[in-house]
Amino acid sequence: MKLTGAEIIVKALEEEGVDIIFGYPGGAVIPLYDKLYDSSIKHILVRHEQAAAHAADGYARATGRPGVVIATSGPGATNLVTGIATACMDSIPMVAFTGQVALPAIGRDSFQEADITGITLPVVKHSYLVRDVNKLACTIRSAFHLATTGRPGPVLIDLPKDIQTTLAEYSYPKQISFRGYHVPGEPEAAQIYQAVKAIGLSRQPVIYAGGGVISSGAADDLQKLAEKACIPVTTTLMGKGSIPEDHPLSLGMLGMHGTVCANYAISHSDLVIAVGARFDDRVTGSLDTFAPHAKVVHIDIDIAEIGKNVHVDYPLNGDVKMVLQELLPRVEVPQTERWLQQIASWKKDYPLSYTQDGDEIKPQYVIEQICELSKGEAVITTEVGQNQMWAAQYYKVMKPRCFISSGGLGTMGFGLPAAVGAQLGLPNELVVNVSGDGSFQMNLQELATIVQFQLPVKIAILNNGYLGMVRQWQELFHNKRYSQTELLPVPDLVKLAAAYGIKGLRAHRPEDVRPVLEQAFNHPGPVIIDFVVSQDENVYPMVPPGGSLTKMMGGAGK
């Protein structure tokens, strides 16, 4: 059966089970869009290519399936770069298709030509420039295999326009393999044995769970291990949902804006069991003072992460779920009674806290009310900055894939398009985008996408008139020299909502917060809620950059 390159792409996507694609058409991908016109695949027309990548990312995080995005050549392709880098830093499976000028025009500075495979080289798992239409189907199969196996990540396929119109025999490979690419199997029995012994001999162990727990579908296994061995669990931002955050063994998030209890526990532990986490700087603070008395068990599918930032005593290279299932029946239960008593004391003495008094709305109160009303089971997407950290601290996540946030890259403008992807992937779930007024304005054009596809996303904007996290750092570390962080005037967000045909609500006082949230959550369509919050509220606790986890500013939340 002979098909054009564009037909091959569509048929291959259908065979991969792709149901939704995010994209924006242009000259170099018109042949592909012409064939998508008759496909069963639903195409979501965003209003900016960066948003297409973030929406595909949000879809992947919410569903566990790879996100797919299409953009045209030149500026269309380069507009994807931030979204691809975001997915790369957080190990999110994505396949990006970019248009390219025809093969004879490559390298001639042709109209809308960009070397996108070169530009994205540091932020993809792999990339392809298709030069032979006969290899196109195999390339697509390879891209999905690479994106979804091992440590997940984005893969890019660059499609010259003439490749899309050239005929070739169609045959889609069912299996694929690459020289030099091997997904780790189970660790050696001796390594498992050593880790089991180390756990059994520990007295103050802590499980430190990262995004790998979520991506491998290992949250249930992690919880079983923690419960069987009576080991407390702290998570990274990406690991939220690895254990229900109301569980007695949950310590909450650790790191720069982590809980006092989590930071104290990791600092006083004698064994850190890192599960699908990479010891990044926002978690560890100063490496010299991080878990100074602890041995380290590190479970990770990417061997390059093991020992990269901290010394590892017991390396377990493999899929998190497989390794936990090997550990679970063998684990020797340590004596942690006194340790758990100490943990309970820290929890009691140093809870997350704030004071909601007067007529100003505290942003923490907004997040608490969202959590109470949704019972911790909404799908939360966040922007980046103070809003993100308040959401991470005060929204107690009950299950995996319900907290979607840009971690490694810290991309402002991520949350709104990610909510689009999450809502399309999980149409029956309540999706709430927690946003700051700064981040919201970076991709607010996606309100049109929300309206076009009738997505009931609820957008909660913590409106303080500032680039809040930058302002906080300027206050604490730069003598209150607030250089270019005041955003006033912020547009009238209720009128902006009306301009798009979206319901707009506003809360000025604390007593307004719960009623407007109830109204928004009961509304069948999208809602923008403008929470006018305290302008000078800071995120605490806070470990100063490069500092020790035991030396937190505002440790009691004051």
Q: What are phi and psi of 185, to 5 degrees?
A: -90, -150
Catalytic residue among 322, 442, 469, 552: 469
Q: Is the CB of residue 383 less than 8 Å from the CB of residue 436?
A: yes
Can 553 be counted among the known catalytic residues? no
**Cα dihedral across residues 390, 393, 399, 405: positive or negative:** positive
Q: Is the CB of residue 167 less than 8 Å from the CB of residue 4?
A: yes
Q: Is the CB of residue 309 less than 8 Å from the CB of residue 284?
A: yes
Can 469 be counted among the known catalytic residues? yes
Catalytic residue among 125, 161, 295, 362: 161
Give which of 439, 462, 448 is closest to 526, Cα–Cα: 448
Q: Is the CB of residue 428 less than 8 Å from the CB of residue 68?
A: no
Can 197 be counted among the known catalytic residues? no
Helix (H) / strand (E) containing 37: none
Catalytic residue among 14, 15, 112, 553: 112
Catalytic residue among 111, 178, 453, 477: 111
Three-state DSSP class for residue 272? strand
- C-beta neighbour count of 477 within 10 angstroms: 11
Measured torsion, CA atoms of residues 247, 251, 252, 254, in degrees rounded to the nearest 10: -160
- C-beta neighbour count of 447 within 10 angstroms: 23
What distance lies between CA 429 and its chain's CA centroid? 18
Can 49 be counted among the known catalytic residues? yes
- Write b or e for each residue in 483-515: b if 16 or more Cβ atoms lie within 10 A of its Cβ, otherwise e: eebebeebeebbebbeebebbbbbbeebebbbe
Catalytic residue among 7, 16, 49, 368: 49
Can 111 be counted among the known catalytic residues? yes
Q: Is the CB of residue 99 less than 8 Å from the CB of residue 77?
A: yes
Distance between CA atoms of residues 510 and 58, nearest Å: 31
Active centre residues (catalytic): 49, 111-112, 161, 469
